[in-house]
Structure 1
Amino acid sequence: MSAPPFLREVYREHVDHFGEPTDSIVFDDDISCEGYPARIDILIWDADDHCDMTTFSTIGMSSVPMPKAAYRAELHFAVRRHLDDKDKHRIARFLANLAMYPFQVGDPLDWWHTLRDPGPIPLYDTASCALLYPRFVEDGWDTSMIGDQEVRFLNVIPITPTEKDLREIDLIEDALSGLDIFEPR
């Protein structure tokens, strides 16, 4: 089945920003549930000679409005290393499960939210919580308007429980300064 026009546009925005993905993994429910995305594609841009990061993005989370939110969202995740197929699949499954979180709990995800237990984060042994971060640089990309719908791109940053317990964003950012947040820890 072909993707709806809205998701085709979300995909096109990603290609415009990152180029064609080098890989993708699909998580497709055989039986769709009302109010839940029926399919989550995980796009992957492998690390290469020009960029030492493997980057992931969900496509499909934004197909359904999140509960209690005036915007839709997709997740981004990056790791500073080349990954084998096993690790790519583990991270893809983690992101697909995390994409369902707002629909399961009935609350939206947004920038600066922290999650105490988003499930095991592949490659990250001590950073078992998550911070949802906006763009990393002033002219970065964290929002697109698709028709009249705002889509926010939430960068999933693994953080430690101690960092999460700081609670205030400024304190968390201070704790992360000087760390390579894209390097598993």
Structure 2
Amino acid sequence: MPAPMILRDVFLTYRDRHGEEDDGIQFENPSGPLPRLDVFIYRSLEMTTFATIGMAVHEMPSGPGPGGGGRAELRLVRRGPLSRADEHAVAVQLANLAVHPFLTGEQLNWGHMIGIDDEFPAFRGCRAVFLAGPLSPAALDYVRTTAGAVRILNVVPITDAERAHGRTLPPLAFAESLLSRRDPYSAP
């Protein structure tokens, strides 16, 4: 069965920006909220980038809370190369995050923080994630598709202390504070 047009649009945008993916991990669950989710991996000497394709096949729930609904995909960047085992573990964690809104009824958006059960793979000490908008002027904020905009949610693993600090600030102020304190692409 061919991929829905919206996913092809996301795929082609990724291909234009990053080139051909170096690897990909496919998650299938025909009875789940996302029957198929791919996590593409792009490797360079300096960075390993992960990008989901499949989450945008459905609109996220529109409530509760601000900024709901719409379509999104996840992106995570880790400074340096990772082992294949770490790459797979990161992809699994991203797949779990991608189904989160469809299982809980809570949307994901820029500025949201989500606790996870264990440390985020390849980010020692991080037991939560902050979902950010673009982390640099050249970064994607949305992918324009024939079905409308697909928001790119940058996944930034954070520590418990950073999460507590983030709860005291508006999301943009927390993002700026985080960027001024550490490299968001490396474990703290």
Give, in angstroms, the shift of residue 171 of structure 1.
4.2
Matched, 1:178 2:170: no
Distance 1:19 1:72, change over 3 A: same
Give, in angstroms, the shift of residue 70 of structure 1.
3.8
Which residue is 2:157 aligned to?
Answer: 158
Match of 1:56, SS state, is strand
| 2:60 partner amino acid | M
- Structure 2 Cα separation of the partners of residues 104 and 112 of structure 1: 20
| 1:32 partner amino acid | S
Provide the TM-score with structure 1 as the length reference. 0.90
Which residue is 2:80 aligned to?
Answer: 81
Answer whether contact 1:80 1:183 (CA < 8 A) is retained.
yes
Per-residue Cα deviation, 1:99-155 (whole angstroms, up to 9, x for no partner): 000001101100011112265310222121110010112342110221142200000
Which residue is 1:25 aligned to?
Answer: 25
- Structure 1 Cα separation of the partners of residues 5 and 146 of structure 2: 10
Match of 1:15, SS state, is helix
Match of 1:98, SS state, is helix
- Structure 2 Cα separation of the partners of residues 47 and 60 of structure 1: 24
Matched, 1:55 2:55: no
| 1:76 partner amino acid | R
Which residue is 2:148 aligned to?
Answer: 149
Answer whether contact 1:57 1:75 (CA < 8 A) is retained.
yes
Instruction: Say which is worse superposed, 8-17 or 132-141, in terms of deviation.
Output: 132-141
Instruction: Say which is worse superposed, 64-73 or 86-95, in terms of deviation.
Output: 64-73
Match of 1:87, SS state, is helix
Matched, 1:117 2:116: yes
Provide the TM-score with structure 2 as the length reference. 0.88
Which residue is 1:96 aligned to?
Answer: 95
| 1:20 partner amino acid | E
Q: Choose which of 57, 60, 66 in structure 1 pairs with 2:60.
A: 66
Which residue is 2:36 aligned to?
Answer: 39
Per-residue Cα deviation, 1:66-124 (whole angstroms, up to 9, x for no partner): 11144200000011111121111111111011100000110110001111226531022
Matched, 1:12 2:12: yes
Give, in angstroms, the shift of residue 172 of structure 1.
5.4
User: Where does the alignment leave 5 or more consecutive residues of structure 2 unmatched?
Assistant: 63-67
- Structure 1 Cα separation of the partners of residues 128 and 17 of structure 2: 28
Number of aligned residues: 179
| 1:38 partner amino acid | P
Match of 1:11, SS state, is helix
Instruction: Say which is worse superposed, 168-177 or 79-88, in terms of deviation.
Output: 168-177
Q: CA RMSD, aligned part only?
A: 1.6
Answer whether contact 2:111 2:131 (CA < 8 A) is retained.
yes
User: Where does the alignment leave 5 or more consecutive residues of structure 1 unmatched?
Assistant: none
